[in-house]
Structure 1
């Protein structure tokens, strides 16, 4: 495939889990490319991906999976994106486009740019982040419609060409997603509030409730939908979220500072018995949520 070609011949997906498997299912079910090559460490994962029709062929070594690939999706955990990219770079064909699906972008894109070095025309790395997922995991949970209507962020730098962004954007939109372009910095600042802070807040609430002195045995009897909904995110993979938090430290710290300020306001209103200020604070939160969610 040249950069002007609209339909890629071969797409490689490194990481045949829920996201990678769903990409493959959509590519194959809608005939968006000629071949879908998958890669996973475990042979059983590859067999499942083959069985559900997510890939045409599978390899356990990423360098074997990418040798003919026009576009490569690195659908691994955040901590594995850069080691994987560095490993496959010498084996990629000229003019290949590589993207990832991680939820942090600044560190990944900056390091990937350094890895590419002085020959960015040979391979382009474009950081990506599909805002889609499921409670389930693995290729057996993959769905061809997982990205239908979802936002898929593509981050750009001055090293990316308009043609590569358009080529990848067209393919992503063929997966059913709506592409949104922004810089890695803007992405990480925003998701610190919309994704990472909610997870930390859910963990904080679960920990706070679980450490209430003398009440632990009875708290469970009074849990209803409010607590379940507010703490659902705390059930996520601790290892995955450790990786996410450590690769987006500064924006998350800024978000936590803002959150702490809001909690301090609530504490002050209650201590001073300022019912009017508390009411205004609650009303402001309801109005702000409605405005943000409707966008």
Structure 2
């Protein structure tokens, strides 16, 4: 059944409501080095009616540095649901509003995403500004493939959920981008090693654009050992894991499990689970293992 949908085309600066309704600007802020603030970002923050800030105290330092006097309103994960209707009303009334996060690109791993959805649903204009983003900044210096990649963000906190999540990524073929707390990094790398194996390449990037910027590259085994010896980790963390360039197929995973079984039990498995005759099951085991069919026959019949 076809789902009803409404085509929406936004002309950011020439729309029919331009001048009557307000615009929501998504403004990136530096991830460490204040020189990464763009001229357009500064000018936008100076000219909007209000700035939505994750932490108004933190954002005020940025505003003071660039002589921006625009007022702020707090907007974060704990008050987003109560704030959104109020913000939409302000935009409908013609106020221009900028949203910023504490650092980097708003709406990435923060409640700006929900605000954008609400603004789109209200047919309001949403204008994104380009700027600093930690995940992409670290990626281009990682040395891992940048042809295709995926932003994963923060992993689940619960051990069982984290394990299941990582296990589902074992065959993922593209570079994976993660955020992590410095307090959980060591354990997370160990969990990744358990899921992906010790040889998978990984890169940990710390304190991007700041004085103590650090990029650590190597295998998961290398980095697990390194951070086990260097447990005191500070700063913002991004890490990247290479994609699987030789993903396991269902067939190879099945065979890996069967390889732990004696030949006779392998034949019996194909007989039971695939309803094969003994003759066909012996052929299948010979094909899967590379063992001569006569040898499989002999082992099955214990000759």
Q: Could you state the TM-score of these two structures normalised by the residue count of structure 2?
A: 0.32
Q: Is the radius of gyration larger for structure 1 or structure 2?
A: 2
Q: Could you state the TM-score of these two structures normalised by the residue count of structure 1?
A: 0.32
More helix by share: 1
